[in-house]
Amino acid sequence: MPRCSQCREPAVIFVRYSGRHLCARHFCGFLEQRVAKEVRSMGKLPRGSKMACAVSGGKDSTVMLHLMRGLLHPRGGVELEAIIVDEGIRGYRAGGIAVAKRECRRLGVPLTVVKFKELAGCTLDQAARRMPGTIPCAVCGVWRRQALNRAAKEMGASRLALGHNLNDVAGSVLMNVCRADVERLARMAPHGKVQPGLVPRMLPLRWIPEEEVKLYSYIKGLNVLEAECPYAERAERGKFVRFLAGMEDARPGTRHSVLGFWEGVRECVQASRPPASLKECPRCGEPTVSRLCKGCELTAQYIHARGDGRTALPGKGRRKAR
């Protein structure tokens, strides 16, 4: 059996990109140190401020919540609150909400549930049926971002933490490069500058590969949802994530190199694409560069596709979990 490169205890993982075997204790420390470094890079939060964590019940957001609780609790002065979005995906989301409630209760973290039904007037399942020409993941992404930003603002959060891991972030970088979507690249989290109406986002797990997040959740005995979203296979980013997985097998460290490249050119790209001037959407009050925000545009498309003559304005869509 391979032994830990640091203490000679039985190893639980071989970290190919660093060439080290690690036991459970040293692996957890290795992961926690990198997350702490990423959180510190975003700057210190003042005492009395609040950090919002977007959770789903899955391994990534659950591990992130666990780590953020550990990082913030010993210092005190910074409150932690979780947000989960209920998209209305039948046979899937209810399980994630149940898992998130259990884990938040165990950690003593308040949980807020935000529903698409109350925010946009329909569930994602209903939108997918009525709007066959749209990609469900694209619709979900717009409404989810709006829901999280609105909930984070209402609770007075200074930052919003998302559970995207290295596989996700590197896949997004490559996808935007292949699309030549410089605007979207420039807007990618983490956000160092504060724009009016937008809560800055941070990605504590962005340097952590998915397989390491999964192993950490297993070692720590965390409650996580194993099921995958039924719409996930339609997401375009998945193609780039799978491509990078093949490259990672052939050349360990490829994902880190992709993200490292982006970090090296980020300031130049952002300087060439400064943030647009934002105004309030007249329907929901969220920031937008257009007459209506993208979330309200999609809601209007759904109302038109429904064809019953009724109108629906985006609501608050927020409630505390019991």
- pLDDT per position as a tens digit, 79-112: 999 999 999 999 999 999 999 999 999 999 999 9
Residue pair 289/276 in contact by the 8 Å Cβ criterion: yes
Tens-place pLDDT, residues 118-161? 989 999 999 999 988 888 999 999 999 999 999 999 999 999 99
Report how far residue 312's alpha carbon sits from residue 21's, in angstroms, rounded to the nearest whole number. Answer: 56
| Confidence band of 232 (pLDDT split at 50, 70, 90) | confident
Q: Are strands 159-161 and 111-115 parallel, antiparallel or unpaired?
A: unpaired
Top-confidence residue, 320 or 149:
149
Where do the domains of the chain lie?
1-41, 45-320
Top-confidence residue, 318 or 162:
162
Residue 196 carries which DSSP code? T
Is residue 321 predicted with pLDDT exceeding 90? no
CA angle centred on 149, ends 146 and 154, rounded to 5° = 120
The chain-wide mean pLDDT, for the chain, equals 91
CATH 3.40.50.620 holds for 45-320: yes
